[in-house]
Copies of this chain bind each other. A is one copy, B any other.
Amino acid sequence: MTNKDARTPASAQDEKSTEAGKSIGWHKAYVEGSRPDLRVPVRQVHLTNGQSVTLYDTSGPYTDPHIDTDVRRGLPPLRENWIIARGDTEEYAGRPVRPEDDGIKHTSPRGGLRNLDAVFPGRPRQPRRGRDGQAVTQLAYARRGEITPEMEFVALRENVSPEVVREEIAAGRAVLPANVNHPEIEPMIIGKRFLVKVNANIGNSAVTSSIEEEVEKMTWATRWGADTVMDLSTGRNIHTTREWVLRNSPVPIGTVPLYQALEKVDGKAEELTWEIYKDTVIEQAEQGVDYMTVHAGVRLPYVPLTANRKTGIVSRGGSIMAAWCLAHHKESFLYENFEELCEILAAYDVTYSLGDGLRPGSIADANDEAQFAELRTLGELNRIAKRFNVQTMIEGPGHVPMHKIKENIDLQQEICDEAPFYTLGPLTTDVAPAYDHITSGIGAAMIAWWGTAMLCYVTPKEHLGLPNRDDVKTGVITYKIAAHAADLAKGHPGAQEWDDALSDARFEFRWEDQFNLALDPDTAREFHDETLPAEPAKTAHFCSMCGPKFCSMKISQDIRREHGGSRAEIEEGMARKSQEFAAAGNRVYLPIAD
């Protein structure tokens, strides 16, 4: 398995075929629900002892050798029939796509060509929206007592009852982001009662990267466990990049519409208008964006609260809205038009991710007046959104030292009626650029333990540059660790089974099982093989870390083997054991060639 070099995710079967015909490993399997088109993907790991372990799988059809995927065609529209069957949506002509949607100026012939060239070639589709201004959201259904196929899907995925899923959504404690125009997704849920989720950001910038790279980063991120992906593109071809990403994504896609809106006014914040913004939201909703970050909490009176900060406003959206507010000396157009925005989102089932535009960007600024003033406004907006049946989560910081983390989640839960918290990190120190996946992984694990529902990953490139493929993988793996550590600490049912299976494999020197159960089998195997590449080392009762004489697990196993199993047997057998051990040659390790 040489994932580092692969350009597209291979299927499990393909990979294994490169593994010298090994039959062990893992394969993509499905848990079937109440109807044949409701099949929940899982990763089935086959152990050498004949057992198997079932793990949550976010990698989509790409890892199913029976599905022929093609990024030029897009993924099969898994949810299409469910959406149509509800009968509450209609197709319509939709907003015409314009060159400026891709940041192409009318005066640039080169830009126009590039755009046409890249246009997504998959099946033609018309956008869909709720009939007669109806809220076609999972929240509306849940409140009406309906269990949708999407809810049943996530119930199977999380190993809980569909009724628990419905209740959590109805109460606003969980969201199931699923735009009616994104039928390709495998439904997932974000809420503190469920497994902690991880979001990976992708997106080009004005400085670097291409459409292909972004689609590739998306499939790559989900392969390693990203539960959602945010496309934060800010450069050229924003619209087209997003189309490719959406049509090929098995996970919900989030965006920050403000970025594209700003491109449409050529980067001049004060030229932004509610009309341009609204048009952009509709454009993206028609494409199928599942959740949108909206910085409606950055209100005019809060901007001065950031004046004495060490690092001012560090959210892109926050700084844009602050610049707009000051330029016009007017209240934010997002705040002022929030109810109309709710109506739009409800018609597509776009979930709000209420942005924390005033989050702290340094340890010094954590938990300050500006941050918490905005949080209180987010609480207010959350209630408005719920009136319109719009699913809503709340974004959180940022840079926060460990002793100030808990206050963030506690306040958010209180102020926002337990709406899912979706945090970036937090980073627990500022001194380690190039390692901010780790400074933030620490904070992420803690805040998730205390109730955060989804973690936005941070890559090693944070503060320094745009992440590449390796950075995306490192960010996702680090955050899967934080999320799983939190699942364990929360006592999430079934979470520890994975650890137990891996620890059993470790103790029993089933190296292949240990690799296959690892969050990153490739790197685990590679590290082991660096010093002991030969095949016999895969069954050896030691590794190069301690060598054969000092392998505590080996010694520990020998002790146990001498005793039988239970504590009673051991206590009874201890005296006997003493003589036996001596008689057996008194060696705590197997002799190997010196």
Q: Which residues of A contact B (CB under 8 A)?
A: 205-208, 234-235, 259, 262-263, 267-271, 303-308, 310-316, 318-320, 322-323, 326-329, 361-364, 401-403, 428-435, 437-439, 441-442, 445-446, 449, 460-466, 468, 477-478, 480-482, 484-486, 488-491, 496, 498-500, 502-504, 506-507, 514-515, 517-520, 523-524, 526-528, 530-532, 543-553, 555-560, 562-563, 565-567, 569-571, 574-575, 577-578, 581-582, 586-589
Residue from the list B319, B486, B559, B562 in contact with A319, Cβ < 8 A:
B559
Closest B residue to A204 using CB positions: B547
Task: Report the bound CA distance from A402 to B503 in whole Å.
Answer: 17
Contact A402 B446, CB 8 Å, known A361-B553, A431-B517, A571-B304? yes
**Across the interface, which residues of B come within 8 angstroms of A504, CB to CB?**
310
Cross-chain pairs A/B with CB under 8 angstroms, 11 sampled: A304-B567, A312-B552, A364-B503, A428-B489, A429-B481, A429-B484, A433-B515, A434-B526, A442-B482, A442-B485, A463-B545
**Contact assessment for A587 and B544 in the assembled complex, using a CB-CB cutoff below 8 Å:** no
How far apart are A588's CB and chain B's nearest CB, in angstroms? 4
**Across the interface, which residues of B come within 8 angstroms of A517, CB to CB?**
431
**Contact assessment for B329 and A431 in the assembled complex, using a CB-CB cutoff below 8 Å:** no
Pick the 10 closest A-B CB pairs, nearest first.
A312-B556, A362-B503, A206-B547, A319-B555, A329-B578, A402-B489, A319-B552, A428-B485, A205-B547, A434-B523
**Contact assessment for A430 and B502 in the assembled complex, using a CB-CB cutoff below 8 Å:** yes
**Contact assessment for B464 and A543 in the assembled complex, using a CB-CB cutoff below 8 Å:** yes
**Contact assessment for B555 and A313 in the assembled complex, using a CB-CB cutoff below 8 Å:** yes
Residue from the list B308, B489, B491, B532 in contact with A207, Cβ < 8 A:
B532
Closest B residue to A504 using CB positions: B310
**Contact assessment for A555 and B269 in the assembled complex, using a CB-CB cutoff below 8 Å:** yes
**Across the interface, which residues of B come within 8 angstroms of A507, CB to CB?**
310-312, 361-362
Contact A310 B438, CB 8 Å, known A207-B532, A463-B506? no
**Across the interface, which residues of B come within 8 angstroms of A544, CB to CB?**
205, 207-208, 465-466
How far apart are A194's CB and chain B's nearest CB, in angstroms? 18
**Contact assessment for A445 and B433 in the assembled complex, using a CB-CB cutoff below 8 Å:** no
**Contact assessment for B552 and A268 in the assembled complex, using a CB-CB cutoff below 8 Å:** no
**Across the interface, which residues of B come within 8 angstroms of A582, CB to CB?**
270, 327
**Contact assessment for B527 and A465 in the assembled complex, using a CB-CB cutoff below 8 Å:** yes
**Across the interface, which residues of B come within 8 angstroms of A545, CB to CB?**
205, 461-466
**Across the interface, which residues of B come within 8 angstroms of A271, CB to CB?**
586
**Contact assessment for B434 and A484 in the assembled complex, using a CB-CB cutoff below 8 Å:** no
**Contact assessment for A329 and B577 in the assembled complex, using a CB-CB cutoff below 8 Å:** yes
**Across the interface, which residues of B come within 8 angstroms of A577, CB to CB?**
326, 329
Task: Report the bound CA distance from A485 to B269 in whole Å.
Answer: 36
Contact A503 B552, CB 8 Å, known A267-B587, A433-B514, A546-B316? no
